[in-house]
Structure 1
Amino acid sequence: MPLDPEAVLPDTLLEEIRSRAVGYDERNEFPHEDFDALVAVDYLKAFVPQAEGGLGAGLADVVRLQRRLAAAAPATALAVNMHLVWTGVAKVFADRGDASLDFVLREAAAGEVFAFGISEAGNDFVLFDANTVAEPTHDGGYLLTGTKIFTSLAPVWTRLGTFGKDASGDEPCLVYGFVDRDAPGWRHVEDWDTLGMRASQSYSTVLEGAVLRPERVIRRIPVGPSPDLLIFAIFACFETLLAAVYTGIAERGLELAVAAAHRRKSARNGGRPYAQDPDIRWQVAEMGLAVDAILPQLGTVAADVDALVDRGPRWFPALSGLKHRATETARAVLDGAMRVGGGAAYFRGSELERLYRDAAAGVYHPSDPESAHASVAAALLGPLED
């Protein structure tokens, strides 16, 4: 049976989390109290089977949970998202009969926290190539040297899922694995001072010969697009869970716009609420239509991943398109909500102002708008000719 999001994240917990969001944003500080509260309700064990102490959730369940959490505190949801991506990847593997990442679920059950150290400045190949160098060691492990950006959960992760390129042989390959926090050869740069999503504390991570032990190597994949299950699983979980976070932002923005329309009064209309103004009603309706359009797409994609639906090569345009639509919807809805909210929404500390800034981060996550359009165009029109 599907999980009940309200049972996992009750209103009382979400109101506490929401009440802290403004302070974490202002102080540019990791939401330690939120994180501890989520750990206490086994939220980070969402994908862990119930028999191992987890919630036994599927991707569709976690999508609903993340929408709900993001509506309260987007940066907290985005930070936790990166742990959920790796545990979701392990769930995708397990559902398809591949036990090679079962250790991720076991370690998550034991309290380990996984971070996502994939993105690199200037590397728009994302998963298909790496600037980070993976130097083989005599024991079958690697030393990783390079810089990863946007490493969310930086203050609390214990396992960093990352990758680099091993060019030592005839055929370069991409090496994926997990670096333990107590391993030597890495450091954080506390450079996260951003417009929005401030509490995620997504530091840059400098790998200076970081030790990737042989037993922590999970894949060696040729450079370039690959049919390997790991690539699909990362795309499926990363794009879908990101879409969930930004959809939650859009839903909260719409809720605040509706409240503002009822609360604000129009002197020109005899003191009647703006909810009775035809122009405001049109704007709110546009926001509602936008949110209604993304919800079925998000739900269907997540359910299809859970059901092992084989979309073949159509999966990648579907996933990148979902992420693009969700982030653009959030930006459009928050833009409209700011208009409906009036001048008060423009002041620092208002929830709409913070959501507006948080929504702006959506354009910087892979797949970016250019990549999403290129993927869909290739699916519809065929590849570009040389």
Structure 2
Amino acid sequence: MRREEEDLALDPSAVLPDELLERIRSRAPGYDERNEFFREDFEELTAAGYLKAFVAKDDGGLGASLADVVRLQRRLAAAAPATALGVNMHLVWTGVARVFQARGDSSLDFVLEEAAAGEVFAFGISEAGNDSVLFDSTTTATPLPDGAYSFTGVKVFTSLSPVWTRMGTFGKDGTGPEPRLVYGFIRRDQPGWRHLDDWDTLGMRASQSCTTILEGAVAPADRIARTLPVGPNPDLLIFGIFAVFETLLAAVYTGIGERALELAVAAAHRRKSLRNGGRPYSQDPDVRWQLADAAIAVDGVLPQLERIAEDVDGIAERGSAWFPALSGLKHRATETARQVVEAAMRVGGGGGYFRSSELQRLYRDVLAGLYHPSDPESAHATVATALLGPIEDPAGS
């Protein structure tokens, strides 16, 4: 059920108090400079119960809704984008399990049970060159006699590489009459996987989203979540992953945009114009227009983000309209954040170009939004198909 009373929502400032966020913000430049995992942030967030956000209160969690976690992730991302993005991947799997529970499907209850016990989930889905994303895989899933599957392939952008204890992944089983996509969960303490030390990137450096090589990693039979046909599929797992992944990504990048706007406003008050007699740039009409335009853009994302999260929580009936709505949200949020950060760089002046500036780090971090699915081409194709129907075969077949 959708939360109808505001007092049922979590207070983000209670879960992430200012003192905790300031410590996290203070560590972000060092993690970025050293290309180092956000270990101290992770430890503090774990101690605060943040990784149990979607776990029910009776089981020791926060009992959060997706709308709650959207607000939390915006707040965390404003302090340390790479920390928020890394934690996001654990929250995706636990959020998907919560989507299942809310719809009467218990097949992912073990995810919430293990998260309650302190396990950390990685999102081992992305594959280089796989633009079908959830609808096909270059990883091989081999069935074993006891109902388990072994996975062999390469997964990229696996955040939380230093600390995950469980990884949700998938591959293609081609042994039957028709190929099937197999989704399952492997354990860190079992053989058949390794990381590459290859995360040396432009931005989001502290997430340490290293490449993972699967070399026969086994997901036991009781940790196989689904086997699905290749191609688009309305299964709840596909919906759940898409809904939670896109919405929480949008939350992280919106938080970056909000922080950039805050820094730009402070810069406009701080910087003085010699040409205008020492008056602050906050009195310059052009600067005022740029900041107002950025604020209007952020304000346009917020209700869309809140509404979609609430509709996921409320089990709204959107049918096939869900996928254009979700891909459109991710596209709008990441593009808006990028534009707002660029505007903040312009307003903030040349100081923002220095490595010591928080804005230059936000500028590098926000560019990662270009690479998460759905990419701009996919988002526009999805919305165009919803509006106009599929592209027709010119041969008429």
Q: Does TM-score exceed 0.5, indicating one fold?
A: yes
Cα distance in structure 1, aligned partners of 2:141 and 2:320: 29
Match of 1:261 among 243, 261, 268: 268
- Name the structure 1 match of 2:224: 217
Q: Are 2:79 and 1:68 aligned? A: no
SS of aligned partner of 2:308: helix
Alignment coverage as a number of residue pairs: 386
| Equivalent residue letter for 1:263 | R
- Name the structure 2 match of 1:322: 329
- Measured after TM superposition, the shift of residue 142 of structure 1 is 1.2
- Name the structure 2 match of 1:123: 130
| Equivalent residue letter for 1:95 | A
| Equivalent residue letter for 1:245 | V
SS of aligned partner of 2:275: helix
- Measured after TM superposition, the shift of residue 138 of structure 1 is 1.1
What pairs with 1:187-336 in structure 2 (closer than 5 Å)?
187-336=194-343
TM-score by length of 1: 1.00
The percent of aligned pairs where both chains have the same amino acid is: 75
- Name the structure 1 match of 2:5: none
Cα distance in structure 2, aligned partners of 1:54 and 1:349: 37
* Cα-Cα RMSD: 0.5
SS of aligned partner of 2:335: helix
- Name the structure 2 match of 1:91: 98
- Measured after TM superposition, the shift of residue 199 of structure 1 is 0.2
- Name the structure 2 match of 1:156: 163
- Name the structure 1 match of 2:3: none
Cα distance in structure 2, aligned partners of 1:207 and 1:194: 22
Cα distance in structure 2, aligned partners of 1:131 and 1:294: 35
Cα distance in structure 1, aligned partners of 2:356 and 2:147: 51
SS of aligned partner of 1:179: strand
SS of aligned partner of 1:268: coil
Cα distance in structure 1, aligned partners of 2:167 and 2:384: 34
| Equivalent residue letter for 1:166 | D
- Name the structure 1 match of 2:142: 135
- Measured after TM superposition, the shift of residue 353 of structure 1 is 0.3
Cα distance in structure 1, aligned partners of 2:214 and 2:392: 38
- Measured after TM superposition, the shift of residue 261 of structure 1 is 0.2
- Measured after TM superposition, the shift of residue 349 of structure 1 is 2.2
Unmatched segments (≥5 aa) in structure 1: none
- Measured after TM superposition, the shift of residue 216 of structure 1 is 1.0
- Measured after TM superposition, the shift of residue 211 of structure 1 is 1.3
- Measured after TM superposition, the shift of residue 212 of structure 1 is 1.6
SS of aligned partner of 1:150: strand
Cα distance in structure 1, aligned partners of 2:91 and 2:124: 13
Cα distance in structure 2, aligned partners of 1:310 and 1:171: 31
Cα distance in structure 2, aligned partners of 1:268 and 1:154: 51
Q: Deviations over 1:20-67 (max 9, x none)?
A: 000000000000000000001100000000000000000000000000
- Name the structure 2 match of 1:144: 151
Cα distance in structure 2, aligned partners of 1:326 and 1:81: 16
Larger deviation: 137-146 or 76-85? 137-146
Q: Are 2:74 and 1:103 aligned? A: no
SS of aligned partner of 1:210: strand
Cα distance in structure 2, aligned partners of 1:104 and 1:212: 14
- Measured after TM superposition, the shift of residue 190 of structure 1 is 1.1
- Name the structure 1 match of 2:17: 10
TM-score by length of 2: 0.97
Q: Are 2:357 and 1:350 aligned? A: yes
Match of 2:191 among 184, 188, 192: 184
Cα distance in structure 1, aligned partners of 2:212 and 2:283: 51
Cα distance in structure 2, aligned partners of 1:185 and 1:107: 21
SS of aligned partner of 2:328: helix
SS of aligned partner of 1:323: helix
- Measured after TM superposition, the shift of residue 139 of structure 1 is 1.1
Cα distance in structure 2, aligned partners of 1:215 and 1:100: 9
- Measured after TM superposition, the shift of residue 183 of structure 1 is 1.5
| Equivalent residue letter for 2:206 | A
Larger deviation: 138-147 or 111-120? 138-147
Q: Deviations over 1:85-110 (max 9, x none)?
A: 00000000000011111111010000
| Equivalent residue letter for 1:240 | T
